[in-house]
Amino acid sequence: MKKKNFMIAIIVFIVGAGIFALINQPTATFNNKTISQHDDTGTKTKENEENEDVGEESQDETEEDEPSTEQRQLSTVAIEAFQEAVDFFTNQNTHIVAVGDSLTQGVGSSNGGGYVGILDSALNAEGQIVSFDNFGIRGNRSDQLLERLDNPEVSTALEDADIVLITIGANDIMKVVRENFTNLKIEEFRQERIDYEERLQQIFTKLKHINPNTDIYLLGFYNPFEQYFQDIEELDMIVESWNKTGNDIAQEDASITFIPTVDLFDDPDANLFAEDNFHPNDRGYQRMARRVLDYLTNEEG
């Protein structure tokens, strides 16, 4: 038991130090079975026109060392993968609004656009067919997003949104870590998940009040520590339970769709994370973009 507690303490210290050093909003690790989750959310950014290589995931992972490859025009594979979506959105004047945390902002990607920027570049490569507004803010929790929906700039964009994309909740988890850093127990996450569920319901209610006709897509969590702490089952338990919360809410409302992402990053042989080891890199965001597009075209069609 002493040995186990000692190992846990070491993991907590290492992960905690790494998070606080690498991310603006504090992050830390999970004691009782360490967890450290990436700070989510970023400064409000309109998506840059990033020419990201959204295909070629089977190529060498050395692409991460060749940013020029990631930033040049879409590859043939990418064009083929997105062609159906381009055809789908053409002549629809679709407006997509993204809100949430650092995953929405695109923290970790080479040009800061993330998955939203990749969607923008891919869909509008041959001409503007979909307009995007990105209101991702690094470090945002669900309570902060709930308040930001009242911001006139955000609410005005939402009033005209055909589709709303959301990433939120990772910083709710990190709040538990920060407040209980020296005595972290899984029970603390269970209670916070209940509070998160209530706030998530309020976010959806407010979104539908602002725009009753929009379709809402909630992206799920992934576990960035799977590759390092595979033997700590509690990490997966937390991610699974919080994902289930979002999915359960979505199942109750036809206008809300849950998009899973945990499987996209369950690939120890692929380099999917940025240098901070928490946020996705270009390749990770490419996977997210293709998954989102999959759901958009299937659901909308």
The residue behind tokens 């990033």 is: 50
Whether the per-residue pLDDT at 287 is higher than 50: the answer is yes
| Higher-pLDDT residue of 61, 284 | 284
Closest CA to 135 of 149, 122, 125: 149
User: To the nearest whole number, what is the mean pLDDT of the chain?
Assistant: 78
State the pairing for strand pair 130-136/163-167.
unpaired
99-135 pLDDT per residue, tens:
999 999 999 999 999 999 999 999 998 889 999 999 9
The residue behind tokens 């979909």 is: 130
For the chain, what percent of residues have pLDDT higher than 90? Answer: 53
Whole-angstrom CA distances from 205 to 202, 211, 214, 255 are: 5, 10, 12, 11
Whole-angstrom CA distances from 239 to 50, 101, 164, 186 are: 30, 17, 23, 12
Strands (E), 189-273: 215-219, 256-259
pLDDT score, position 174: 85
Single-letter residue type at 70: E
Q: Which helix (H) or strand (E) holds 132?
A: strand 130-136
pLDDT score, position 231: 62
- Whether residue 97 contacts residue 133, with contact meaning beta carbons closer than 8 Å, is answered with yes
151-165 pLDDT per residue, tens:
999 999 999 999 999
Whole-angstrom CA distances from 22 to 17, 179, 238, 262, 271 are: 9, 19, 23, 22, 19
Strand order in 256-259's β-sheet?
A: 130-136, 94-100, 163-167, 215-219, 256-259
Give the orientation angle of helix 282-300 with respect to helix 114-123, to 10 degrees: 60
Whether the per-residue pLDDT at 57 is higher than 60: the answer is no
DSSP annotation of 98 reads E
pLDDT score, position 113: 94
Whether the per-residue pLDDT at 8 is higher than 50: the answer is no
Whether the per-residue pLDDT at 251 is higher than 70: the answer is yes
Q: Cα–Cα distance between 291 and 33 in angstroms, integer?
A: 30
- Whether residue 149 contacts residue 203, with contact meaning beta carbons closer than 8 Å, is answered with yes
| Higher-pLDDT residue of 227, 25 | 227
Q: Cα–Cα distance between 116 and 286 in angstroms, integer?
A: 10
Whether the per-residue pLDDT at 256 is higher than 60: the answer is yes
Q: Which fold has domain 37-300?
A: Rossmann fold (3.40.50)
